[in-house]
Amino acid sequence: MTRSWQEWLVRQISLAGDFDERILNAFLKVPREVFSEFHYDLDVVYSDNVIVTARDGNSYSTSSQPSLMALFMSVVGLREGMKVLEIGSGTGYNACVMAHVVGEDGLVVGIESNQRFFKRSVEVASKLGIENVIFVNGDGFYGYEKLSPYDAIVITVAVDKVSRHWVDQLKIGGRVVGPIDVYTIDRQPAFVFEKTSDSIVAKHLVETKFIKAGGLLGNLNETNLERLSKIEKRFSTPVEFLSIPVGSYEAVGVFHLASWSLCEKSGWIYFVEDEGFARWKGGWEVFGKMELIKRIAEEWAKTGFTPMMLLRFGYDHRMNFERLERWDET
Positions annotated as catalytic residues are 64
**Cα separation of 190 and 204, whole Å?**
6
**Cα separation of 131 and 104, whole Å?**
8
Element housing 166 (H / E):
helix 164-169
- Contacts of 223-231 spanning 24+ positions with Cβ under 8 A: 224/261, 224/262, 224/263, 224/270, 224/272, 225/263, 225/265, 227/263, 227/272, 227/274, 228/263, 228/265, 228/270, 228/272, 228/277, 231/272, 231/274, 231/275, 231/276, 231/277, 231/288
Closest CA to 92 of 49, 44, 30: 30
One-letter amino acid for residue 208 of the chain: T
Q: Is 149 helix (H, G, I), strand (E, B) or coil?
A: coil
Q: Is 110 helix (H, G, I), strand (E, B) or coil?
A: strand
Angle at 188 between CA 56 and CA 110, to 5 degrees: 50
CA dist list (Å): 94 to 64, 119, 148, 201: 8, 15, 20, 25
**Cα separation of 327 and 135, whole Å?**
36
Q: Is 300 helix (H, G, I), strand (E, B) or coil?
A: helix
**Cα separation of 91 and 89, whole Å?**
6
Phi, psi of 213 (to 5 degrees): -70, 150
- Four-CA torsion 225, 226, 232, 234, nearest 10 degrees: -170
> Residue 326: CA atoms inside 13 Å, Cβ hemisphere, count?
9
